[in-house]
Structure 1
Amino acid sequence: MKGLTIEQIIHYQTEGYLIAEDVLTEEDLQPVINELEREIDRRARALYAEGKISDLHEDESFERRFARLYAQCPEIGKGFDINDYLGEAVFRFLANDHLLDVVECLLGSELSCNPIQHLRAKLPWKPGKDDKPDYFQNVPWHQDNAVTSADSEASEIITFWLPLVNATAETGCMEVMPEVSKLGYLKHRSEGGTTIVPEQLPHVQPILAECRKGSIVIMNKYTPHRGTTNTSDIVRWSLDLRYHKLGAPSGRSIHPSFAVRSTKQPEQLLTDVDEWRRLWQEARNRRAEGSLHRV
């Protein structure tokens, strides 16, 4: 197990975040990218058949094709998230050994994949094209704990954010506030999305969390962070994953979490993609009760 060094663990515990370099290989990430390319192509061809787009941009790269298609028809991005299209390659990646070796260094060997997880396609934005990027293109300051239910307050839920292309200042990486996680939960409000109440926003110099493809930004659930604008000419693809200790509240009990690593109860591991899809379909069919946002 490669995992993290003692120095990296201390940095995470002290600062509330860590950029772990070169955790994942091309072989780890390429199946996910290939699957996304197939899904983009499927959606593009369906919209082409409906006359909603006129150019499939088949020769464009993974980093550029989605933006070209989105410019013709934003509908191509509708429901394009991990828990919407439920791809097998993404499901397999959630239990990737290189990834879980890092998770285990912080949470131990009994691990559950948290159901709060996202695929992000941050599109290029140029001044003058629109007034400003929308919420999901430029997420404001927030803590991930703000979108979990109160029963998970004692759960150690850790965010593992990883880019599928290099996340730089130009492509729209994150900014994080070091050491602020020690303050615990800060009050949030809904303002086109969930964001920290301005009066509670600490006066701390943020860190630009540039992160190469294959590396991971790891964050405490109380670490304030935000997205920055993608001013490049490519799409900044990323996965936003969370893990917690097996058996602990997930913060989203209406959605399925599942065991991804266990030395004590290996029979609990979920390896059947069809079962994972069934669990999510059942969750969609159940009516959600109450708000999960602590505003």
Structure 2
Amino acid sequence: MTSVANVNGKACSRDSEWWTTAGKAECSPYCRSNRLTQIDEPYRATGDRSPFLLPLQQGRVIVGAAPITRRRIVPVPLTQQQIDQYYNDGYFIVRGALSDENFAPLEAAYSEVIDERIRDFKARGLIEDLYEYEPFAKRFARIHDQIKVDDKDLRRELSWGLDIMHAKLPATFEFFFTPNLLTPVESIIGPEIMLSPIQHIRPYVPVTGDSQPMQVPWHQDQGVTKEEADVSEILTVWIPMVDVDENSGCLEVIPGQTNLLEHQAEGGTMIKPHLMPDAKPVNCVMSRGDLLFMSAYTPHRGHTNRSDYVRWSMDLRFQKTGTPTGRPVHPEFILQSKADPDSVQDSYVEWCERWEAGLETGKGVRHHRV
């Protein structure tokens, strides 16, 4: 099959090194410079720090993809100054840690899942337009807009199963082992790194009317664990897959908090309003590729997403191997060990099996401490 992608609105055949637009062919400088690079057939990824990746289905052109920038980033540990800032403030933004190449397989896999779901909705008469020519981060928002605001069950169905433990995509599992991610994590956790079972991918869709789906209130991550985790140092790494600011749902944090505040279950697990710290919140404006490191005691929440695209983000938590996770019925996973490299749990099949067993065991179990 001739692979076709798109740059700046023009369909480009990689085999022929020609662009074809409305029957008119012209030479493609992108093909000549080999900047249009295969990531995971039949997909193409975008570059130049664009947040979008689009599926290329067999025999169909999906418009909107741009050439990926082959930007190699050498894994870099945190400096002592950065480590000190993390412990003093309870958070630190690691700038430019990840490249487009790190995200490409993950986005490609989710593109396929979402495309299948959208086509199922169309076949069932639930939506009218596939929006197949919209970029990845915008397409899901356009589909969401076609569902009535009061049809909460259908909106939930659209998003259901996309989280890490339900989708169980190979690309997600591979992402966990990214050196550009684990190297700065090691600066906080040490060389024996375990991935907590509290791990999520979230498509934070734009606000509709007065409703912001999936909005999380002020909370501390330690508050959504069982008490057993209070002896563990747990590092939250929040990873935006798109550029984020106050308009598109970036996180805001309250620095300097070092102890657990009392939470309540009402309104979602949240800090009791009268216990909220007086410190001024800080908006964590971030670019795709940045990492937000947070202590488990740092209060945070997401701004309302008032943009026209989905704020895709990943939420991972790391801790020293062998320490309690606070989520005992779900599987932790050893990602790195310099003391015992053979202990690393790098089997995708095992990861899937343990999640399937853990989800079954965890049915009906209260996972938060409140």
TM-score range, shorter chain: over 0.9
Q: Using the aligned pairs only, state the percent identity.
A: 39
Q: Structure 1 residue 116 and structure 2 residue 198: aligned?
A: yes
Q: Relative to structure 1, is the Cα distance of residues 266 and 49 closer, same or farther in structure 2, using a 3 angstrom cutoff? A: same
Equivalent residue of 2:231, what SS?
coil
Deviation at 1:124, TM superposition (A): 1.4
Residue 361 of structure 2 is matched in structure 1 by 286
**CA deviation map 1:126-172 (0-9, x unaligned):** xxx433324x2x21110000111111111111100010000111111
* Distance in structure 1 (CA, Å) of the matches to 2:224 and 2:133: 39
Q: Highest CA radius of gyration, 1 or 2?
A: 2
Residue 137 of structure 2 is matched in structure 1 by 63
Q: Relative to structure 1, is the Cα distance of residues 287 and 172 closer, same or farther in structure 2, using a 3 angstrom cutoff? A: closer
> Quick check: 1:70–1:77 contact (8 Å CA) kept in 2?
no
Q: Which has the higher helix share?
A: 1
The residue type equivalent to 1:29 in the other structure is F
**CA deviation map 1:228-271 (0-9, x unaligned):** 01111111110011011011111111000111000112112122
Deviation at 1:187, TM superposition (A): 0.2
Deviation at 1:52, TM superposition (A): 2.0
**CA deviation map 1:73-108 (0-9, x unaligned):** 422212221111111111110111110001100011
**TM-score normalized by the length of structure 1:** 0.94
Equivalent residue of 1:99, what SS?
helix
Deviation at 1:50, TM superposition (A): 2.2
> Quick check: 1:174–1:208 contact (8 Å CA) kept in 2?
yes
Q: 1:28 aligns with which of 87, 91, 102?
A: 102
Number of matched residues?
288
Which residues in structure 2 correspond to 1:44-55 (within 5 Å)?
44-55=118-129
Equivalent residue of 2:293, what SS?
strand
Q: Relative to structure 1, is the Cα distance of residues 289 and 64 closer, same or farther in structure 2, using a 3 angstrom cutoff? A: closer
**Structure 1 stretches of 5 or more lacking a match?**
none
Which residues in structure 2 correspond to 1:1-295 (within 5 Å)?
1-73=75-147, 74=155, 75-125=157-207, 129-134=208-213, 136=214, 138-180=215-257, 182=258, 184-288=259-363, 290-295=365-370
**TM-score normalized by the length of structure 2:** 0.75
> Quick check: 2:330–2:362 contact (8 Å CA) kept in 1?
no
* Distance in structure 2 (CA, Å) of the matches to 1:284 and 1:43: 22
* Distance in structure 2 (CA, Å) of the matches to 1:280 and 1:234: 30
The residue type equivalent to 2:95 in the other structure is E
The residue type equivalent to 2:276 in the other structure is L
Q: Which structure ranks higher in relative contact order (CA pairs < 8 Å, sequence separation ≥ 6)? A: 1
**Structure 2 stretches of 5 or more lacking a match?**
1-74, 148-154
* Distance in structure 2 (CA, Å) of the matches to 1:284 and 1:119: 17
Displacement over 6 Å in runs of 4+: none
